């Protein structure tokens, strides 16, 4: 499924936020999930009787600052996560890259998105874009071309980058997560996988990076043409951003994964982070996320 090309405009996008992290020096690979792990729905947490209905196959809600679990449904069940993968891509890139670093778009980046049937930011080969702008291309229209360009550059090479993604997952305690690429598209060798709980842990950590938080909360972003690149315009696929207090973070979809959503919001002075996996109706994941965010303060004060 492809995004429609956004109308090109000539307004400049400012990059004022920077980050700096060290890159893990090791890489580990987790074992593939068993049939029982991908189909069973046990969770170490039982949701309150008064919690909103959650129709996705798995979900998890937590207090981002304290780490306290507020809701869980099959929270530890391993399953495909589609484009939620791109949150880790953004996080790993900013551990070694500056937002002002330039990345040249190669023909294989555009072909990768086209051939794989992934969503695309319609990046043009030969354009040289700052990493900060490519994060918008990665997170708003969920550009597989942007993911490929970033992984190819900062692996170096896609396999090297995926190894960094898996190493970073281990360092964050995401022991039920395994990435096979930088975008979440299915591969002939199989899909990557994670859990609602692991993705919530990642979401809370990624949103501590100011640039990721800023990008994830942007509904539309325009890039003015320069001598280095043409003009672009990207619209966020996250409908939750229309709700007061919503922060982001990432949408996803493949046939195997269903509709997914990593989300966050501020409620009663607290930051809440949640994940919904395996939803069968696209719009319902946003309604469910909003319901969970509204219900959580009641649960927390009970």
Asked if 219 and 122 touch (Cβ cutoff 8 Å), the reply is no
- What's the token pair of residue 224? 């003015």
Does the annotation mark 283 as catalytic? Answer: no
The dihedrals phi and psi of 297, each to the nearest 5 degrees, come to -60, -35
Tokens 């049939």 locate to 35
The dihedrals phi and psi of 211, each to the nearest 5 degrees, come to -65, -40
The residue among 121, 57, 111 whose CA lies nearest residue 83 is: 121
Asked if 182 and 85 touch (Cβ cutoff 8 Å), the reply is yes
**CA–CA gap between residue 130 and residue 102 (Å, rounded):** 4
- Which residue of the set 73, 86, 164, 250 is catalytic? 86
Does the annotation mark 43 as catalytic? Answer: no
- Which residue of the set 43, 142, 194, 260 is catalytic? 142
- Which residue of the set 43, 83, 194, 260 is catalytic? 83
Cis peptide before 228 (omega within 30 of 0): no
Cis peptide before 156 (omega within 30 of 0): yes
Asked if 253 and 282 touch (Cβ cutoff 8 Å), the reply is yes
**CA–CA gap between residue 8 and residue 169 (Å, rounded):** 36
Q: CA separation (Å) from 80 to 33, 167, 196, 278?
A: 10, 18, 10, 8
Q: What's the DSSP call for residue 7?
A: P
Tokens 């591969």 locate to 187
Does the annotation mark 142 as catalytic? Answer: yes
Catalytic residue set: 83, 86, 142
């Amino acid at each position: 499924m492809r995004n429609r090309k956004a109308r090109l405009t000539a307004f400049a996008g400012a990059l004022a936020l920077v980050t700096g992290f060290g890159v893990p020096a090791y890489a580990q690979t987790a074992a593939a999930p068993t049939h029982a792990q991908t189909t069973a729905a046990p969770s170490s947490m039982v949701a309150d009787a008064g919690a909103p209905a959650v129709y996705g196959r798995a979900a998890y809600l937590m207090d981002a600052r304290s780490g306290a679990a507020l809701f869980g449904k099959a929270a530890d069940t391993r399953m495909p996560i589609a484009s939620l993968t791109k949150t880790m891509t953004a996080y790993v890139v900013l551990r070694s890259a500056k937002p002002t670093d330039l990345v040249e778009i190669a023909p294989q980046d555009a072909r990768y998105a086209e051939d794989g049937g992934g969503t695309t930011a319609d990046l043009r080969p030969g354009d040289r874009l700052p990493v900060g702008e490519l994060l918008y291309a990665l997170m708003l229209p969920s550009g597989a071309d942007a993911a490929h360009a970033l992984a190819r550059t900062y692996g170096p090479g896609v396999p090297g980058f995926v190894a960094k993604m898996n190493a970073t997952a281990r360092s964050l305690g995401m022991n039920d997560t395994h990435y096979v690429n930088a975008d979440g598209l299915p591969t002939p060798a199989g899909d990557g996988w994670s859990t609602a709980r692991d993705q919530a842990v990642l979401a809370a950590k990624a949103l501590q990076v100011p640039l990721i938080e800023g990008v994830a909360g942007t509904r539309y972003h325009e890039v003015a043409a320069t001598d280095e690149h043409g003009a672009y315009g990207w619209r966020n696929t996250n409908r939750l951003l229309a709700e007061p207090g919503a922060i982001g973070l990432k949408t996803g979809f493949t046939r195997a994964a269903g509709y997914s959503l990593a989300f966050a919001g501020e409620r009663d002075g607290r930051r809440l982070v949640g994940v919904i996996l395996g939803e069968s109706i696209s719009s319902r994941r946003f309604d469910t996320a909003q319901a969970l965010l509204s219900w959580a303060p009641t649960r927390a004060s009970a």
